[in-house]
Structure 1
Amino acid sequence: MSTPTMGSETLGHLSEEALPGDEAPATKRQVSGKSPLRIAAGRLRQDKVAMVCLTIVVIFGLIAIFAGTIAGWFNVTTTPGNPAEDLNYLNGGMPYKGPPNGSFDPDHPFGIAPKTATDNLATWLYGCRTSMMIATSATILASLLGIVLGLVAGFVGGIVDKIISFVTDLFLTLPFLLMALVIAPILSERFALKPDTYKQMQLLSLIVILAGFGWMGVARLVRGEVLSLREREFILSSQVIGMSTPRIMFKELLPNLVAPIVVAISLMLPAFIAAEAGLAYLGVGITQGSSWGQTILQASSYFEHYPLYLWEPLLGIVVLVLALNLLGDAIRDAVDPKTRR
C-alpha cells in the first residue's frame, strides 16, 4: 500500500497554519523607499536645537514681512519726533527713555532715539526687514550665479572650465571689505542727485556687491561635485541617447546637487546679514532708511548713558546670525550620510 505524498498545497497549508498558542501570522510590511532629502528632513526634525533655530528664523522672517503691521499694533513709526517729545530728548539730553537708566514707557517699549526722538521699536522692526531682504536677495542671486557657472565649468570642461576657474580665483583674491568700501560709494554717488530713487539704488547696489563677492564658494562646490558625477553611468547614458547639454545639466546633474547647495545657502545667508550690518556701520551700506548697522553706529556714542539703544539691534543681529549658523550646521549634518546622531 503506497504512502500518499504531500503536494504543494499540503505543504503550503501546513506552513501557514498557526500553532496552538501562537498569534495570527503577521501581514507583510510594505517597504517604501525614501529619497535622501526626505531622510535628511526626518533627521533634521529629530534635532531639537535645529527646530529651535528654525523657529527663531521663522519668527524673524515674519517680523520682516509684517514689520509695518506690527508697528501699527504698537502705534509707532520711524518718523523723527513722533509723537512729540520733550526738548531734552530731541537735543540728546538726559534722562533717556527706556531702562536701565530711564523708566519703561509702554508707548515706546524699546525707548526712543536721542536727538530725533524716533521710536526704537519701529526702527528695529524695519531694520530687521532691511537686513532680511538684502541678505535673502543677495543669497538668491549669488546662489544662482554660482550654480550656473559651476555646472558649466564642471560639465563642459576644457577652455570654458579654465576661464571660469580663473575668474573665480580672481574674485577670491580680492578683499571683500576693501572692494565694498570702494565700490559702494561710487555706485551710490551716481544716484545721489535722484532723491526719489536713491534709497532703492542703495539697496540694489548693496545686493549686487554682496552677491558679486559671494558666488565663488557655491561655484567651486558645484564644479567639484559635477566633476565627480559627469562620468557616472546615468550621465553617459543621457549622452548616448542624444540628450542636450542644458537638459543633462539641469535635469540630471542639478537634482543630485540639491543637498550640498542647500548647505551652502544656509551658511551664506547669516554671512550676508552680518556683512550688511557691518557695511552700514562703516557708512557705506544703508544710510537712507532703517538699518541695524546704522543704528549701532548712531548708538555707539550713547552706550555709557543709554546702553539699551545699542543692545537692541546688536542682540537682533547676534540671535539671528547664531540661529542661522546653527541651523546651517544641522542641515549639513542631516544631509551627510556618514553622520550619526
Structure 2
Amino acid sequence: MTLPAGDLEVHGETVARPPEAERKAIAGRSPTRIALDRLRKDPIAVVCFLIVVLFAAIAVFGGLIQDLLGVSTETVRATDVIHPVTRLPLEGPPTGTFDPDHPFGVAPGNGTDNLAVWIEGCRTSLYLATVAAVLSTIIGVTLGLIAGFMGGIVDSIISFATDLFLTFPFLVMALAISPILNDRFGDDTDKLRFASFYSLVAILVVFGWMGVARLVRGEVLSLREREFVKAARVIGVPTHRILIREMLPNLIAPIVISFSLGLPAFVAAEAGLSFLGIGVFGRESWGQTINAATTWWEDYPLYLLEPVLGIAILVVALNLLGDALRDAFDPKTRR
C-alpha cells in the first residue's frame, strides 16, 4: 500500500507528517533545550522558580533590604516597646493594629524586630543549605563516578562505605557534637558562631552524599557500556578525561535534579536542629525563632507563624521545582 505524500506510518497507523518548519525546530533542539521549554510551559514550575528567586534575593541582599525598610536586629530597650507586665509589644500585633515601623511586629520579651530576624534567618538557612548541598553533591558525584566506572574492588569499597553511612542518622552525630562545641567555645561567641555553623555543614555533608553517589553510580554503570565510552577507552583516552569529558556531561540532568531535591531537605534539617537547640549559635535562625515562639503561641500566634510559613513556602517551592525538573529532563515523561 502506498501512503499519500507527506504521511508517515507509525506502529501500523498512518499519521500526517509535521510541517517542515516544525520538523526543523524539533530536530534542532538539544535535550536540555527541550527540558527548559517544558519548564517554561509549566506554570507550577515558573511560580516555584520565582518564589525561590525571591527568597534567594532576600538572602543575598538581606542587609540592603533591612536598611531600605528601616529594620535591624540590633538590641533595643525592651521598656520602650514591651509592656512591663505582659511582656507583649506595646504597638502592633497582637494587641494593636499594623505597625509600619515593624511590619512583622516585634518579639515579645526583648522587642527585637521580627522582620529583621526573619530576613537573617532566611540568609542563614539558605546559605547553610546551599553550601551543604553543593559539597555533598560534589562528593557524591565524585565517588559515584569512580565506583561506577572502575568497578571491582573499588566499587565494593565505595558501596560498602555508602551503606555504612546510611545506617547512622546524622541527628545522633549532631546531638553528640553540640555539647562538645558548647564546652569548647562557650566563652568565645565569635568562635562558637563559626564552629557551630560549619560543624553543622560538615554533619549535613557527611550524611548527605550517599543518595547522590548511588544515583550517579547507577547511571555510570549504564553509560560505561555505551559505544562512545568503549571507543574512548580503545583509543587510549585517560580515565579522568573519560569521566570528565564523556560521562559527566551526560549526568547533568540527574545531578541537577538531585541537588534541587536535596536543598529543601537541608533547609528543613537546619531549622529542625536549630529548633532542638543543636543547630547554629550566635546568628539568627528560623528554627531558633520557632523555639522561642512556642511559649507565646496562645498570646502571640503570629510570632510563631512567620518563620513556619517561611520554611513551608520555601521547602514546598523547592520540592515542586525539583519534581518539575525531574519530569522535564525525563524523556519518558509527556507534559
TM-score (norm 2): 0.89
Which residue is 2:156 aligned to? 162
Q: What is the DSSP-based 3-state SS (H/G/I as helix, E as strand, rest coil) of the residue aligned with 1:170?
A: helix
Matched, 1:180 2:153: no
- CA distance, structure 1, for counterparts of residue 203 and residue 332 of structure 2: 36
Task: Name the count of aligned residue pairs.
Answer: 315
Work out whether residues 138 and 210 of structure 1, in 8 Å CA contact, stay in contact via their aligned partners in 2.
Answer: yes
| Matched residue type, 1:163 | I
| Matched residue type, 2:317 | A
Work out whether residues 187 and 205 of structure 1, in 8 Å CA contact, stay in contact via their aligned partners in 2.
Answer: no
Which of 215, 218, 223 is the matching residue for 1:224?
218
The alpha-carbon deviation at position 97 of structure 1 amounts to 4.1
Task: Mark the CA change 1:57 to 1:27 in structure 2 (over 3 Å): closer, same or farther.
Answer: closer
Work out whether residues 101 and 305 of structure 1, in 8 Å CA contact, stay in contact via their aligned partners in 2.
Answer: no
| Matched residue type, 2:263 | L
Work out whether residues 184 and 205 of structure 1, in 8 Å CA contact, stay in contact via their aligned partners in 2.
Answer: no
Which residue is 2:30 aligned to? 35
Q: How does 1:39-118 map to 2 (within 5 A)?
A: 39-81=34-76, 85-86=80-81, 88=83, 93-94=87-88, 97-118=91-112
Which residue is 1:328 aligned to? 322
- CA distance, structure 2, for counterparts of residue 290 and residue 96 of structure 1: 23
Superposed CA offset, 1:124-176 (max 9, x none) = 01110000000000000000000000001111111111111111001101122
Gaps of 5+ in 1: 1-25
Matched, 1:245 2:226: no
TM-score (norm 1): 0.87
Superposed CA offset, 1:184-206 (max 9, x none) = 43345433343332212211111
- CA distance, structure 1, for counterparts of residue 301 and residue 23 of structure 2: 62
Tell me which structure has the larger Cα radius of gyration: 1
Work out whether residues 82 and 88 of structure 2, in 8 Å CA contact, stay in contact via their aligned partners in 1.
Answer: no
Which of 283, 305, 313 is the matching residue for 2:299?
305
Gaps of 5+ in 2: 1-19
Q: What is the DSSP-based 3-state SS (H/G/I as helix, E as strand, rest coil) of the residue aligned with 1:113?
A: coil
Q: How does 1:255-270 map to 2 (within 5 A)?
A: 255-270=249-264
| Matched residue type, 1:253 | M
- CA distance, structure 1, for counterparts of residue 132 and residue 68 of structure 2: 30
- CA distance, structure 2, for counterparts of residue 125 and residue 59 of structure 1: 12
Superposed CA offset, 1:50-88 (max 9, x none) = 000000000000000011111111211111216872452
Superposed CA offset, 1:214-262 (max 9, x none) = 1000000000110111111111111111111111111111111111111
Q: Which moved more, 1:165-174 or 1:184-193?
A: 184-193
